[in-house]
Amino acid sequence: MMQCFNEQEIEALNHIYKINLINSCSGYKSANLIGTKSTNNIENVAVFSSVTHIGSSPAMLGFFMRPTTVPRNTYTNIKKSQFYTINPIHNSIIADSHHTSAKYDASISEFDATNLESEYKNDFFAPFVKNAPIQIAMQFVEEYHINANNTMLIIGKIKGLYINKNLIENDGFINLSEAQIAAINGLDGYAVPKNNTRFGYQRPKY
């Protein structure tokens, strides 16, 4: 038997129950750490489950930012510096990665509050997460304000892409399961896919 929630019933739900329900109903999402640095050289790293592919030529990724009615250190740092990194979360750092969702003051680096380590490559301004099997250097391009709920879509272009060689298959496909890359279900449920099932390019049968 399925349980049905209409629009009015959803709005009337307990706040925590509602956000868990709606955040998990869309299925598994990517689990990433976004690294930034303030103009005062204070590093910031935070977990995001909304990173999405925008386009391949040019290579661009986007992510959604919740309303800036409260301080959002990631957003502030990106807007001021224009640079950030995206680092997929892997199995051995899930707990520390999730802790970066805690609301630390801008003067405190999440790298200091966890066992996560930062590293820098090729003089890129923003910090990468050390030992992440994939590290993506990003530059801010534009943002779109979503009036319906006051969130923002942040779009950036890929300036550099670092990938463990053993993850890249002959056709360029990145085998995330080999690196034990995690996915997020809802706000706090993590899963590590164990394999990939791939199918060739599909054409009409008729």
Residue 63's CATH number = 2.30.110.10
In this structure, is residue 70 part of a structural domain? yes
- What mean pLDDT is reported for the chain? 95
Average pLDDT, integer, range 103-123: 96
Residue 187, in any domain of the structure:
yes
* C-alpha–C-alpha distance, residues 129 and 78, integer Å: 16
Residue 132 belongs to a domain: yes
151-163 and 183-185 strand pairing: unpaired
User: pLDDT at position 42, please?
Assistant: 97
pTM: 0.94
CA dihedral 200, 51, 193, 101 (to 10 degrees): 180
Residue in 186, 196, 198, 39 with CA at minimum distance from that of residue 126: 39
The pLDDT confidence band at residue 200, using thresholds 50, 70 and 90, is confident
Query: Looking at the domain assignment, is residue 204 inside a domain?
Result: no
Q: Which domain holds residue 120?
A: 29-191
Could you tell me if residue 202 is inside a domain?
A: no
Residue 172's region, left for phi above 0, alpha for psi from -120 to 50, else beta, is left
Higher pLDDT, 187 or 71: 187
In the chain, the number of structural domains is 1
Tell whether 82 is covered by a domain: yes
Question: Is residue 196 a part of any domain in this protein?
Answer: no
What percent of the chain clears pLDDT 70, i.e. is strictly above it? 98
